[in-house]
Amino acid sequence: MKEYLKLTEEFLAHGEDFSFMEIALKIDTLKAVIDFHSHKYYLESSPVVSDAKFDSLFRLLKKWEEEYPDLKTNDSPTQKIYSAVQTELKKVSHSSAMLSLENAMNTDELIEWEKRIRNILKHDRLIEYTVEAKLDGLSVSAIYKNNFFVQGATRGDGQVGEDITLNMKTLSSLMHNVDFVKYGIKKAELRGEVVMFKKDFEDLNKKRADQNEKLFSNPRNAASGSLRQLDVSITKERKLSVLFFNMLSDDIDLISEENVNKIITESGFVSRPYFKKASSIEEVIGYCTELEKMRDDFDFEIDGAVVKVNNHDIRRSLGSTSHHPRWAIAYKFKAKEETTRLLDVIWQVGRTGAVTPVAVLEPVLIDGVKVQRATLHNTDELERKGIKIGDIVTIIRSGDVIPKVVAPMTEVRTGQEKKIIVPQNCPICETKLVKIADEVALKCTNSACPRQIEERLIYFCGRKGLDIESLGDKVCKKLIEAELVHDLADIFYLKKQDFYNLELFKDKSSENAISAINEARQKELWRLISGLGIAYVGVQTAKSLEKNFTSLDEIADANEEDFALIYDIGEKVARSLCDFFSKEENQKLIEKLKNAEVNTISKSVSVNDKLNGQSFLFTGTLQKMTREQAKELVEENGGKPTSSISKKTDYLVLGENAGSKVKKAKDLGVKVISEEEFLQMITD
C-alpha cells in the first residue's frame, strides 16, 4: 500500500512534466495506482488519499490519454465504474448504466466544460443549465410501472445493483403510488440519492454508543448500512429520505430537467432543496458559489453542486462516455479544514518494506466525520513541515477520504511539544531501516518481515493478483498469525482443516476457501506475475509479459535486452524483473508454486481487433448471452461497448422486446443489427 502512496506522490509532483517516453513507460503504473485508490474507496470504503489527490491523479491520466490516444486501453480507470456489489441481496441489472459524474475542481474547469460542450455541438446558440446540490448519500433507482412502485435498486457497480425494493418501501418519502400515466408515462425509472439527515445520524450514533455498538463514521455510511439491510424493519427504524434528481422513460419526451423536476415535485416526492436554472456559464458559476456558501444550511450533507444541461435534445446530442454523461458535471466544494492535536506518530510497514509515518490525532469531526488518523506521507515531509508531537495541527479532508496533516500551528506551541523520533529499526522485525537514494520512504530491507509478508499475501490474493475472494485481508492476517502461511506459495498447501481451525471459518466456508484456492491454480499467468509483487510490475506489465512470453520460466530466464524488445517495458522494469528472478528465494518460491500445480504457462492473450474500435449498444433481452457477456465480447474483439445511444454509436444490437431505442437509432442514423448478426461479426 505504501508503494502506491509513494507513487501517488511521485505522479502528483512530476506527472505534469513527463515526456512522451516517460508517459508511455509509466501510464500503466498510474492506472494501477488509480485502480488501487478506487478499490480502497469504493470497495473497501477506506480510502487512503484525499479526494483532491485522487481527482488530480485521475485528471493526469485523462490528460495523458487525450494527448496520446494510443495509450488508452479499455481497462483504464477512465473507462470504468467502481462500486461494491454485496451478494446477500438479490442482484438486478440496470436498464441503462448508472453512471458517475465528471468533476470540476474550480470555476475554470466549469468554463472548460462549457467549451467542450460547445465544441461537440458546434453551435453558439443559448444553452440552458440547471444547478442543484450534490447529495452525499447512496445512489438508488426506483422503477414505476402503471403508477406503481415495482422495484428499488442500489447503484452497485453501475450495471448491476442490489434489489432493495422492500427496504425502499419503508421510506416515508418514497411514493408507492403516483400518477405518471397522466403525463403519458407508463414506465419510468427515477434515480436519486438516499440520505440520512445530520440530526438523525447524530441520534442514531448516540443510541449505538449507549448500546456499545460500532458507530457509523458519517451520514452516508449510515444511510448505506441502514438501507442495505436484509431485515427491513431495521431500515424502517432508521430515518432515511430519498430525493430523486433524474428520470428515465421511453414513453414520452421528458423535454428538460426543469420538466422532470416539475413532474417529480407534482407527483408528491420531496423536491430538490436547491434548484436553479441558468442561461450562461457565468450564471452557473454564481449559483455554484452561492450553494457552496449555503452548504452547512442543509439538513443533510452535500458535497458539491451538479450542473446539468437543461434541454434533453441537447443532452442526446452530447451523449455519455462509459464513465459519465457529457451533459452534466459535479462542481466539488473546497476541502474542509479543522485543527486538532497530534497525539502520536506510528510507523506503518508496507508490502515493499516502505515504512511511513501516520498521525494519531485527538478525534475531531470534519464535516460530520470523526477523524483520528491522518497521513504524514514520509520523513522528508515531516521535516519540511516541522511537526512535533503535541502540536495543534490543521488537517484537511475533502469528501470521505483519509485526511492529511497540513501544518502545525507553531504560534500556539507551549514548549512541551516533543520531537518526532524517526525509527532506526523496523517497528515490526527490528531490521535496521535504510533510506534508498531517490526514494522518499524509509525501507525495511528484510523481505521476511512479518508485516511485509502479510501485505504481500493480501496483495497476492487480492484483485490485482489471483483474486481469491475467500482470502481477504482478515483471513490473510489470520493465516500468517497462525503460522499456517510463511510465503505466498504456502496457500496452495492449505487443507480444509487449516481453515476450519481459524475462527473465521465454518465447515462450508472452509470447503469454499479450498475450492477458491484450487480455482486460483488455473488462473491466468498475468495474475500470478502481478501478484508476486515485483517492483514496478503491475497488472498491465504482467499482461504484457504474458502476451510476449510462453511461460513464467521463459520470463525468469530472460535478460534485460529481451525485455527491452517489449514496447511497454522500460529499463527500470526490466532491471527489476531480472533482479527478482535472480534471487534464490524467489526461484525457490516459483519452484514451490510449480510443485503445487499453479499455472505458469501463458494463455493466448490474443489481440484481436475484429470490431476495430466501433461502438456497440445492446437493447432488449439477448438470447445467447447476458448483457455483461455481450459487452465483454465487444471489448475482447477490440470494440467499445456503450451504455447510451448517440450519433457516435456505430451499432445498436437488438434483443427481444427492444424498446424505443430502435427509433432513436434510426433517427440518429445508427446501424441496427440482430444478435445473430453481431455474433457473426466476431466469428472467423
* Site residues for ligand IVH per CB under 6 A: 99-101, 132, 134-135, 139, 155, 193, 245-246, 306, 325, 328, 330
Instruction: Choose among 597, 634, 598: nearest CA to 613.
Output: 634
Minimum CB distance to ligand IVH smaller for 283 or for 473: 283
3-state SS, residue 398:
coil
Minimum CB distance to ligand IVH smaller for 15 or for 325: 325
Q: What is the grid cell recorded at 541?
A: 506489465
> Is 523 an annotated catalytic residue?
no
Q: What is the nearest approach in angstroms of ligand IVH to the Cβ of residue 358?
A: 29
User: Cβ(164)–Cβ(190) under 8 Å?
Assistant: no
First to last CA, the chain: 44
Residue 616, classified by CB atoms within 10 Å of its CB into exposed (0-12), middle (13-18) or buried (19+), is buried
Q: What is the nearest approach in angstroms of ligand IVH to the Cβ of residue 184?
A: 23
Residue 333 DSSP one-character state: P
Minimum CB distance to ligand IVH smaller for 6 or for 134: 134
Minimum CB distance to ligand IVH smaller for 8 or for 246: 246
Q: What is the nearest approach in angstroms of ligand IVH to the Cβ of residue 397?
A: 18
Q: What is the nearest approach in angstroms of ligand IVH to the Cβ of residue 191?
A: 7
What whole-number distance in Å separates Cα of residue 465 and Cα of residue 540?
12
Instruction: Choose among 459, 435, 430: nearest CA to 446.
Output: 430
3-state SS, residue 108:
helix
3-state SS, residue 390:
coil
Q: What count of other Cβ atoms lies within 10 Å of the Cβ of residue 505?
A: 19
Minimum CB distance to ligand IVH smaller for 155 or for 661: 155
Which is catalytic among the residues 134, 543, 631, 661?
Answer: 134
DSSP bridge partners of 374: 359
CA atoms within 13 A on the CB side of 269: 31
Q: What is the nearest approach in angstroms of ligand IVH to the Cβ of residue 267?
A: 18
Minimum CB distance to ligand IVH smaller for 131 or for 513: 131
Minimum CB distance to ligand IVH smaller for 135 or for 361: 135
Q: What count of other Cβ atoms lies within 10 Å of the Cβ of residue 660?
A: 12
* Residue, CB closest to ligand IVH: 139
For 106-186, list the strands marked E by DSSP: 129-135, 138-145, 148-154, 160-162
Minimum CB distance to ligand IVH smaller for 216 or for 245: 245
User: Cβ(395)–Cβ(339) under 8 Å?
Assistant: yes
Q: What count of other Cβ atoms lies within 10 Å of the Cβ of residue 507?
A: 10
Q: What is the nearest approach in angstroms of ligand IVH to the Cβ of residue 304?
A: 8
Mark residue 487 as left, alpha or beta (left: phi above 0; alpha: psi -120 to 50; beta: remaining): beta
User: Cβ(554)–Cβ(529) under 8 Å?
Assistant: no
Q: What is the grid cell recorded at 150?
A: 415495482
Instruction: Choose among 304, 317, 315, 233: nearest CA to 274.
Output: 304
Q: What is the nearest approach in angstroms of ligand IVH to the Cβ of residue 168?
A: 15
Q: What is the grid cell recorded at 651?
A: 451499432
Minimum CB distance to ligand IVH smaller for 135 or for 534: 135
User: Cβ(397)–Cβ(337) under 8 Å?
Assistant: no
What whole-number distance in Å separates Cα of residue 260 and Cα of residue 172?
21
Q: What is the nearest approach in angstroms of ligand IVH to the Cβ of residue 542?
A: 31
Q: What is the nearest approach in angstroms of ligand IVH to the Cβ of residue 514?
A: 38
Helix spans in 334-422 (H): 379-385
What whole-number distance in Å separates Cα of residue 650 and Cα of residue 640?
10
Q: What is the grid cell recorded at 140?
A: 438508488
Minimum CB distance to ligand IVH smaller for 307 or for 611: 307
Q: What is the nearest approach in angstroms of ligand IVH to the Cβ of residue 315?
A: 10
What whole-number distance in Å separates Cα of residue 554 and Cα of residue 352?
25
Instruction: Show which residues are catalytic.
Output: 134
